[in-house]
Amino acid sequence: GAVVSQHPSWVICKSGTSVKIECRSLDFQATTMFWYRQFPKQSLMLMATSNEGSKATYEQGVEKDKFLINHASLTLSTLTVTSAHPEDSSFYICSARDQGANTEAFFGQGTRLTVV
Amino acid sequence: AQTVTQSQPEMSVQEAETVTLSCTYDTSESNYYLFWYKQPPSRQMILVIRQEAYKQQNATENRFSVNFQKAAKSFSLKISDSQLGDTAMYFCAFMKTGTASKLTFGTGTRLQVTL
């Protein structure tokens, strides 16, 4: 199957700093990418839908100024957690769908963010 | 809005045995996709099986098969000949048709395969 690479796999940052997470589709083009947050032993919660060349669509309750999403190319979307606080500590996962296919979404390996 | 319900938080099965994970969903759409994803301890999401709602035939992938009951809005996963490597969280997911459609996940079932 297609490969989605997410970087970094884990990151520790200080409160008040910003952290950028990258999501790349390595062997296909993705007009749409999705960002999820997962708390321990819970399901994936969709944060936003990232659209290449346009603004992201955020789910209700997700602060767009807090979680900045940029989808500048057909193979790269980034999530920046701005002014991070300990409550932002979580597991963040991206997924991408091949623009030529209608169904399967491929997932990155996830990023564990710890804010101290 | 769509909802996906997994009523079994945890399941356990012995190696080589068969186990069925339950999933129900609610939607007003007539055409959609259903998925089962596996999340092992590595936390990498892996697609196990996919079902298209307009297809009456149940999907199968080697030891994995589904029982898709469209009228009842039920989509259970059967794992045959369970292996230790099947130990993982299993998520049922729903998606409307459309290239930008998002996945709606259930709460997950933690499956433990024992010796």
* Closest partner CB to B102 (pick from A46, A93, A110): A46
Decide: B80 and B73 in contact? Cβ < 8 Å: no
Beta-strand pair A4-7/A10-13: unpaired
Q: What is the pLDDT of residues A66-99, one digit of tens each?
A: 999 999 898 999 999 999 999 999 999 999 987 7
What pLDDT, on a 0 to 100 scale, did the predictor assign at position A101?
A: 62
For residue A104, name the pLDDT band (cuts at 50, 70, 90). confident
Q: What are phi and psi of A86, to 5 degrees?
A: -55, -35
What's the pLDDT at A1? 66
- The string of pLDDT tens digits covering residues B27-57 is 999 889 999 999 999 999 999 999 999 998 9
Chain B contacts to A (CB-CB under 8 A): 33, 42-47, 50, 52, 91, 95, 97-100, 102-108, 110
Cα–Cα distance between B37 and B77 in angstroms, integer?
10
> CB A31 to CB B50 under 8 A?
no
Helix (H, G, I), strand (E, B) or coil at B74: strand
Q: Which helix (H) or strand (E) holds A85?
A: none
A31-69 residue pLDDT tens: 889 999 999 889 999 999 988 888 899 999 999 999 999
Say yes or no for a CB contact (<8 Å) between B43 and A91: yes
Inter-chain CB proximity B99 and A34 less than 8 Å: no
C-alpha to C-alpha distance for B25 and B58, rounded to whole angstroms: 17
